[in-house]
Structure 1
Amino acid sequence: MLHVVRRSLPLTSPRRFLTPASSSALTDVIPPVFDQFHRSFSNKSQSVTVLYDGLCPICMTEIQLLQYLQINRPEQAQFIDISVPGYDGEKYKGVSYEMAMEEMHVIDENHKVHRGIPAFAVMYRAVGLGWVGSLMMWPPVRPLLDQAYAIFARNRLRWTGRSDACKTESCAKKTR
């Protein structure tokens, strides 16, 4: 019998069914602290700008995955390819091509620039993977990821068959 009732109830918050008179009586039962807790750990996304190197095959694989994940969350993240001719860092909080080539940059909904691992956390939150970003920022894990990402960022041009000259000027993958 209970399963019949459960199936017939809509999946919404119990507060939706409260009248203004009855909702004040439940304030003591459902404290507002719960709402704040839920908001701080929810996967609710915001609109962010992700600056990425479109000529980096490793970077492109991740960006394509994030774009796919964003299908049901349109316009939560705007992906800007810094490798296209005419990229203007002044449009993106002064993040120049050279800066963006050194490490990942993401501009959040409050126009704050995040670099490195915090940038990934903001980017993942925007596409609905907030739990991944939270895990990355967790104090026991963060130093390890910072070190691993520093190694990747320092070597990614060499690992993807591109020269160090790519850091200062737009370039294409070397042909062998």
Structure 2
Amino acid sequence: MMQPDTLTVFYDGGCPLCRREIATYRALKPQGVRWINVADARPAAGGGTGSACPLDRAALLARFHVQRPDGRMVSGARAFILLWHRVPRFRWLGRVAGTPPLPALLEGGYRLFLRLRPWIVRRAVRDKRAAPPG
């Protein structure tokens, strides 16, 4: 049974950058966080992920999303800020990043990252294949 204050994190497990970042957060064992790999989630009737999420799979894969305990969805920089508040060693970052005008500035940076993400992923995968065995 899920705790009433659980934050649900929807992430793109098909993205190597996203997987690595989520693995970092998970390793720090945040309390009250449920993880949903949208890339592996089976579609539900109506295009959802099989969970009680009001968004379709394409929307969840396009941006980082967190569902608050009250059911409201938050995406982008504000979603990261909510998650950081739950992750040991990142709580301080959540407090600082949540201070205006930082959420708006971080959102601008996140939108830029989203435009560059396909290129960054291709480059990282190419570099990994080209690296000598080690």
Q: Unpaired segments of 5 or more residues in structure 1? A: 1-45, 163-172
Residues 35-73 of structure 1: CA deviation (Å, up to 9, x unaligned): xxxxxxxxxxx41110001121111111011101116x3
**2:33 is matched with which residue?**
77
Q: Unpaired segments of 5 or more residues in structure 2? A: none
Q: What RMSD, in angstroms, separates the aligned Cα atoms of the two structures?
A: 2.5
Q: Is the 8 A contact 1:102 1:154 kept in 2?
A: no
Q: Larger Rg: 1 or 2?
A: 1
Give structure 1 regions of 4+ aligned residues with deviation exceeding 6 angstroms: 173-176
**1:116 is matched with which residue?**
76
CA change 1:136–1:87 in 2 (3 A) is: farther
Q: Is the 8 A contact 2:81 2:98 kept in 1?
A: yes
2-structure distance, mates of 1:70, 1:151: 29
**1:86 is matched with which residue?**
42
Give TM-score, length-normalised by structure 2: 0.75
Aligned pairs for 1:11-160 (under 5 A) are 46-70=5-29, 73=31, 76-84=32-40, 86-88=42-44, 89=48, 91-128=51-88, 129-160=90-121
Q: Is the 8 A contact 1:47 1:126 kept in 2?
A: no
What count of residue pairs does the alignment treat as equivalent? 118
Secondary structure of 1:51 counterpart: strand
Secondary structure of 1:106 counterpart: strand
Greater fraction helix: 1
Instruction: Please say which of residues 152-161 and 47-56 is displaced more in the overlay.
Output: 152-161
Percent identity at matched positions? Answer: 25
